Amino acid sequence: MMKISLTLLLCVLSFYYSVPQQNSMEPISKIEWCLCNNVTPDESDVLDFLRIIASLTNEVETTERSNELLFTLLNDYPYVTIVAIADMRRPYRDKIYAQLHNPIHDGIDPGSIYEKLQSIHFATLKHKLVSRKVQQIIFSLEIPI
């Protein structure tokens, strides 16, 4: 009887410990789906995604995947991405900037991202400042533009 109770308890605990990871994977999967299907993501979905990747610490596989998605999102949907970054609190925004400073994969085209960001005219000062900051980061990458 004790063994059955212990097994049941472990099953319940493992379920509760797996829920946060499932919740953190949902925004990543949603953005991935939008990118694969050429669907413009909602700003709220982009914001959820950015908050998740700003909170990632040591999950190497998820961090690599989310870094690649971040650059793809910025390339394919620069306006909504800048607006979402601007809507984040400063500490999270700084973590996104750190992610942009350290691209994990070679498949990005910083020149394309930079040009797209330069061609967008944002209405608010906050969005303009975030866009300039991201442009500076992209320009500073050692990948030829």
Per-residue pLDDT tens over the stretch 39-75: 999 999 999 999 998 887 665 656 788 889 999 999 9
Question: What global pTM score does this model have?
Answer: 0.76
- Report CA-CA distances (Å) from 84 to 5, 73, 74, 90: 47, 11, 11, 12
Structural Rg of the chain based on CA atoms = 18
Of the candidates 113, 119, 53, 42, the residue with the CA atom closest to the CA atom of residue 83? 42
Q: Give me the chain's average pLDDT, please.
A: 81
